[in-house]
Amino acid sequence: MTESALTDSLEAPPRQGGWHGFAADWSSDQRAFKSATWGKAMIWIFLLSDTFIFSCFLLSYMTVRMSTTVPWPDPGKVFALTIAGREIPLILIAIMTFILISSSGTMAMAVNFGYRHDRVKSAVLMLATAAFGASFVGMQAFEWTHLILEGVRPWGNPWGAAQFGSCFFLITGFHGTHVTIGVIFLLITARKVLRGDFESGRRGFFTSRKGRYEIVETMGLYWHFVDLVWVFIFALFYLW
């Protein structure tokens, strides 16, 4: 055995193959998660658990809709708005979707400028993202008010299957709560970025190590997840 081969055998532990090697890699934080910070690992675990919850809600909705014997309300008529004497189907939902998808772009740019240490642009883009999110929640409140005035309740509605109201309020309400929480945290984080807390290492909530803007990336992961969930809600609830 050469000297270099002997050195390699002393420094690197033997790697296992097959399923045993796969299990060994993912059960050892020294290999799989050594480069991941605690905050980033926790946000991924949270998003994974939240994915299960939203999946259960949407699967339950599809099961209810396919199993009910009463006609399901037509989303094109239920969510239509009358503008200038014309009834336009899903116009409000289309605007809400456009706003929320656009907010993903501003959030991505905020993360980019954060890691460039351009705190002014990063904070402004986060505030723009929060404004998009607040607009979305405001439109959703208008949508809820309109349907409640039309007679939609969790136990019934004037257009057909009684389960429509409970599915609508549960799924959109749970998602709207996520957007509202995201807006609040965006405002808090934007204030800290604009104030220079991540440059000075000022102590406080959500402040990472000096010079690190990881919390901005964490907010970006959360916001992109909320946007992605809305795409599935839009496709399954409003277009189906």
pLDDT of 105-162, one tens digit each?
999 999 999 888 888 999 999 999 999 999 999 999 999 999 999 889 988 888 888 8
39-238 maps to which CATH number? 1.20.120.80
Indicate the average pLDDT of the chain: 84
pLDDT of residue 186: 95
Stretch 202-216: mean pLDDT: 65
In this predicted structure, the answer to whether residue 19 has a pLDDT above a threshold of 80 is: no
Confidence (pTM): 0.81
Q: Which residue has the higher pLDDT, 163 or 212?
A: 163
Range with lowest mean pLDDT among 14-28, 38-52, 77-91: 14-28
Strand pairing category for 86-88 and 81-83: antiparallel
pLDDT 10s digits, 147-178: 999 889 988 888 888 899 999 999 999 999 99
Region 52-73 average pLDDT: 93
Query: Distance between CA atoms of 59 and 53, rounded to whole angstroms?
Result: 10
User: Which of 69, 72, 59, 88 minimizes the C-alpha distance to 170?
Assistant: 59
Please state the separation of Cα 201 from the chain's center in Å. 28
DSSP string of the chain, one letter each residue? --HHHHHHHHHSPPPPPHHHHHHHHHT-TTTSSSSS-HHHHHHHHHHHHHHHHHHHHHHHHHHHHHH-SSPPP-HHHHT-EEETTEEETTHHHHHHHHHHHHHHHHHHHHHHHHHTT-HHHHHHHHHHHHHHHHHHHHHHHHHHHHHHHTT-BTTB-TTS-THHHHHHHHHHHHHHHHHHHHHHHHHHHHHHHHHTHHHHT--STT--STT--HHHHHHHHHHHHHHHHHHHHIIIII--
Burial class from Cβ neighbours inside 10 Å (0-12, 13-18, 19+) for residue 100 reads: buried
pLDDT at 76: 86
